Structure 1
Amino acid sequence: MNHVETAAEIRPAPVNLEFSFTGRASEYFGIWIVNLFLSIITLGIYTAWAKVRRLRYFYGNSWLDGHNFEYHGDPNTILVGRVIVVAALLIHDTLVGLWPDLGFLSLAYVFCFPLLLNKSMSFNARMTSYRNVRLNFQGTYWGAFFAFLIMPLVALLSAGLLAPLASKFARNYIGRHLGYGSTRFETNAPLLALYGNLGVTVIFIGLVLLLCIGGGFLFGSGLLSAENLLQLGQDELFDIYDVEAMSDILTAAAISAYIALALAYLFYEAGVRNIAYNHTVLDGRHRFTSRMGRRRYVWIQVSNLLATVLTLGLLRPWAVVRSWRYLVVSTGVIAVGLLDDFVDEAAPEGNVSAAEYFDIEGIDIAF
C-alpha cells in the first residue's frame, strides 16, 4: 500500500477560532472605583497601578483557543515614565509661555512624533503576551513619518478624498512591523475596499447630516416661535426671522454638523478595522477576521457616552466593558495548524515614557 501523501493531503484544515471575553461590568466596577479613589487621594500617583490593574483585568479575560492574554507592565516603571512626561510637558508649556519665541519647540515635537510612536508601540507590544510568547514591534522612523504625518496631511488637503490611501499606509505600517515572538504579521489592506468604505461613509454622513441639521433647524425654529408667541400684540411677532434668530438656527445646525462628522469618523474607522484585520496574516497562514457592524459600533460609542454623562460617570465601567467586549468578540482567527508552535525571542522593549505620553495625551493608535 502506498503511504506517500501529497502536500495537499497532509495540510491541516483551517479552523475558525473566535475571540471571547469573560469579564463583567459588576466585577470591573469594583476595580474601577478602587482605582479612582486611590488615584484621587494619592494625587494621581496611583494611576500607574490603576492602569496595570485595568489592563491585566481586560487582557486576562480576553481568550483565544482556550488561552488568555496577559499584560506585563510594571507600575513602578510606568510611574517613572509618567513623571518624565508630565515634567517635560510642564517645562515646555512654561518656556513657551514665558518666551513665545520658543514656539519652535512645538515644531520639534512634530519630528519627534515618529520616534515616540515607534517606542510607544514597541513598549505596549512587549508588555503583551499570549501562550507565554510576547508581541513585539520594530518600526522605522521614516516609515512612521510618512504613514502618520505626511499621509494624514495629504488626506486633509484633499478634503478626505485620499483618506483611504492614508488609512492603507497606516494600517499596513502597523501590521508589517508587528511580530509575535520570532514570527511576523503581514497586513495588505486593499485600496479598492477602503474606497468602498469611504463611499458608504459618505452616504452615512449624508443621512446623519440631514437628520441632525434638520433637527437643529426645527429646534432653533421652535425656540424662536416660543419666543415670539410671548410677544403677542407687538409688531415683532411678524418679524420672526430676524438676524439673531437665524444666527441661533445656524449655530444649532453647525453643532449638529460637528456631531455628524464625529459619528462618521467612528463609522469610517470601524470599516477600516474590518478591512485591515481581514487582510492580516500571521506566519503566512493564520488569517485574522473582523466583522464589526459599523452602525452597531457607532451606537455603542454614542450610547456609552450618554450613559456615562447622564449617570455622572457611574456607568463608565459598564461602558468600557461593553466596548471592549464588542471589539474582542468581533475578532477571529482562521488558523491553519496549531497556535502553540511559536517561539519567543528577545526584542527591543521600547520606551515607557513614549507610551505614557500617548496615554496622557489621549492618542490611541491601536494594533
Structure 2
Amino acid sequence: MPETSAWEKASPETGGLQPVPAPVAAETETWPPAGSHAGAPPPERLATAFTGKRRAVFWLALKTGGLTVLTLGLYRFWMKTRLRRWYWSATRPGGTPLEYVGDPYEKLLGFLIAVVILAFYIGVVNLVLMFVSFSLFQQNYLAYGLSLLGVVPLWFYARYRARRYVLGRTRWRGVRFGMDPGAWGYVWRALLHWTITLVSLGLLWPRMTFWLEKYRTDRTWFGDARLTQGGRWTMLYRATWPIFAALVLAGAGLALSELAGRSEGYTVIALAWLLAGYGYVFYRVETTRILANHKSAAGLTLTARPSALRILMITVLGYLATALVLALPLGLLGFGVALVQFAQTDLMQEFGELGALVSALPQPLLLALGVALYFAIFLLWATFTHAWVTLPTWRHYATTLTIHNPAALSKVSQRARDEFQEAEGFAEALDLGASI
C-alpha cells in the first residue's frame, strides 16, 4: 500500500497541497462498493480504516519540526496543518478519507490576535490585582492567586474555540462538520461543574464529564445533521472502578503499615499508585467509548471499542522507547553543558591535549552547539512520539470505530463554511494545543 504522505493534489479551498488518498484495504467496507450499481443498497455498517505508515509520519514530523526550529517557531502553524492533513487523510470511515482544509495563515493571524488580547487582559488585570493586594494586605500572594484563577475561564474558552475551529475545517464525503458558537456558555458551565466536582471531593466527576461533553456534542453538526449525546451521566461510573479500587488499596496499605510494618504497607501503597495510573487511563478511554456509543445524528449511530490496556501499553512503551533512543543525545547535552562551564577554567588542563583544544574553542561557539543540541533533543522527542505514541493511539481509536445505518447519509446536506477571525489562536497562545 503506498504511503499517504505524498503531497500531490492542489486544494481549491486552501491553496495548499493535499495527500492523494491511498487505495483502501480489501477488508474495509466501502459504500458504494467497487463495481456495484449506483442504486445498490448500502451496508448496515461502515468500518473505519487507518492507512498511515509510521515511517511516513516520522519523516513528516522531522522535516516540519526542523523547519519550525529554524524559523524560531514561525513554521509551527504550517507544521500543524500538514500533520493534521496527514492524519485526517489516513483516517477512512467506510473507505472515504477525512479531509482537513485548515489554513496556516488563519492560524498565524488568530495567534497574533489572541496574543494582543491576552497581553492587554493579563496586563491590566494583573496591574489592578497587584495594586489592590498591596493596598489591603501589603503582599502580592493574593494577586498571584487571583491572576491564576482569572486565566481559568480563558482556558475553557480556548478549548471550546479550538474544537469548533477543527470541526469547521474537517470534511467527510465532501460534507463539512461544524459547531455552534457557545464558548462563553461552555465557560460558565465548566466553572460550575468543576466547583461541584471539587466540593464533592471528586465523587461527581462522571457528572461533569457527561454534561460538558453533552454541551459540546449537542452543538456539533455534520452538514445539516445535528449530533446528539444520549445516555445518562450515571453510566460513566462503570469507568471509575479502578480508581476506587486504588483508593481502597491505598487505605489498606496505610493500615498495613501501622499493623505489620512499613515495608509491607509501602508495597501495597505503591501498587495502589500503579492501579491509580491505570485507572486514569481507563477512565478516559472508557468514558470516550461509552459516550461515543450513545452519540447519534440523523439516524447514524456509532460503536466504539477502544481498549484502555492497549492505550496504556502504547503510551508507556512508546515514551520508554523514545527516552531510550534519546539517552545518548541527553548525555551529550550534559557533557556539552559541562564543557561550557569548565572550558575557561584550569580544570580543563587536566585532560591534556583534549582539554587544551576545548579551552581554545570560543565560548560562544560552545554555547551555540549546546543550544542546537538542546533544540535537537526536543525535535527528536516530538518526532519519535509521533511515530511511537500518537500514530498507534490514533490508529487504535480509528480502527475500533464503526458507523451504523450509513443509508442515513443520503439525507445529509452541505452546511455553510464557518468563518473564524482568531481560529484557534487562544489555544495556541495558552499552549493548550498538542502537536496536532
After TM superposition, the score normalised by the length of structure 1 is 0.75
The 3-state SS of whatever aligns with 2:193 is helix
Distance in 1 separating the partners of 2:396 and 2:58 = 18
Is 1:356 aligned with 2:433?
A: no
Separation of aligned partners in 1, 2:200 and 2:209: 14
- Give the SS at the match of 2:215: helix
Partner of 2:53: 24
How far, CA to CA, are the matches of 1:165 and 1:254 in structure 2? 28
CA change 1:117–1:301 in 2 (3 A) is same
Q: Given residue 413 of structure 2, which amino acid in structure 1 is its aligned partner?
A: V
Match of 2:130 in 1: 100
Query: The residue matched to 1:339 in structure 2 has which SS?
Result: helix
Find the partner of 1:288 among 278, 288, 302: 302
Q: Which of 305, 312, 332 matches 2:319?
A: 305
* Aligned: 1:61 with 2:90: yes
Aligned length: 319
Q: 1:92 to 1:338 in 2, by over 3 A?
A: closer
CA contact (8 A) 1:70 1:130 kept: yes
Which residue of structure 2 aligns with residue 198 of structure 1? 240
Residues 152 and 307 of structure 1: CA distance in aligned 2, closer, same or farther (over 3 Å): farther
Residue identity over aligned pairs, in percent, reads: 22
Shift of 1:325: 0.6
Partner AA of 2:75 in structure 1: Y
Counterpart code for 1:84: I
**Structure 1 partner of 2:388:** 318
- 5+ unaligned residues in a row in structure 1: which ranges? 1-11, 218-240
Secondary structure, counterpart of 1:43 in structure 2? coil
Conserved 8 A contact 2:210-2:233: yes
- Matched with 1:238 is none
Per-residue CA distance 1:306-326 (angstroms, 9 max, x = gap): 222222225222322111111
Does 292-301 or 50-59 show the bigger shift? Answer: 292-301
What is the DSSP-based 3-state SS (H/G/I as helix, E as strand, rest coil) of the residue aligned with 1:337?
Answer: helix
Quickly say closer, same or farther: Cα 1:68–1:334, change in 2 above 3 A: same
Shift of 1:156: 2.3
Equivalent of residue 170 in structure 1, options 201, 208, 212: 212
In the other structure, the counterpart of 1:179 is 221
Moved more, 75-84 or 310-319: 310-319
Structure 2 CA distance for partners of 1:50 and 1:259, relative to 1, 3 Å: farther
Name the structure 1 match of 2:409: 339
- The residue correspondences of 1:8-157 to structure 2 (distance < 5 A) are 15-88=44-117, 96=126, 100-101=130-131, 106-113=148-155, 115-141=157-183, 143-157=185-199
Deviation of 1:359 after TM superposition, in Å, equals: 4.2
Find the residue that maps to 1:352 and give its secondary structure. Answer: coil
Aligned mates of 1:255, 1:89 — CA distance in 2? 42
Query: Does the Cα contact within 8 Å between 2:285 and 2:306 map onto a contact in 1?
Result: yes
Closer, same or farther: CA 364–277 of 1 in aligned 2, 3 Å? farther
Deviation at residue 342 of structure 1 after TM alignment? 1.9
* Counterpart in the other structure of 1:274: 289
Matching residue of 1:226: none
Contact 1:123 1:352 in 2 (8 A): no
**Are the counterparts in 2 of residues 21 and 328 from structure 1 also a CA contact under 8 Å?**
yes
- Asked if the contact 1:171/1:189 (under 8 Å) is kept, the reply is no
**TM norm structure 2:** 0.64
Q: Partners of 1:176 and 1:311 in 2: how far apart?
A: 44
Distance 1:264 1:307, change over 3 A: same
- Residues 15 and 89 (structure 1), Cα distance of their counterparts in 2 relative to 1, 3 Å cut: same
User: In the alignment, residue 127 of structure 1 is paired with which amino acid?
Assistant: R
Alpha-carbon contact 1:52-1:73 (below 8 Å) kept: yes
Q: How much has 1:357 moved relative to structure 2?
A: 2.6
Counterpart of 2:279, as a letter, is A
Relative to structure 1, the CA distance from residue 299 to residue 356 in structure 2 (aligned partners, 3 Å threshold; closer, same or farther) is farther
Is the 8 Å Cα contact of residues 241 and 279 (structure 2) preserved in structure 1?
no
Does the 8 Å contact 2:246/2:273 carry over to 1? no
1:120 and 1:45 mapped to 2: Cα distance? 19
Task: Map Cα deviations across residues 99-153 of structure 1 (whole Å, 9 max, x no partner).
Answer: 7347555554444455444433221111111111111111435641354221122
How large is the RMSD of aligned CA atoms in angstroms? 3.5
Instruction: State the SS of the aligned residue for 1:134.
Output: strand
For the residue of structure 2 that corresponds to 1:17, the secondary structure is: strand
Assess if the C-alpha contact under 8 Å between 1:280 and 1:287 holds in 2: yes
**Partners of 2:323 and 2:417 in 1: CA distance:** 42
1:220-259 deviation line (CA, Å, top 9, x unaligned):
xxxxxxxxxxxxxxxxxxxxx9xxxx9xx98x99998766
Structure 1's 40 and 116: CA in aligned 2 closer, same or farther, altered over 3 A?
Answer: closer
Query: Cα offset for 1:287?
Result: 0.5
Secondary structure of the corresponding residue to residue 426 of structure 2: helix
In structure 2, the CA distance between the partners of 1:198 and 1:348, relative to structure 1 (3 Å rule), is: same
* Counterpart code for 1:318: W
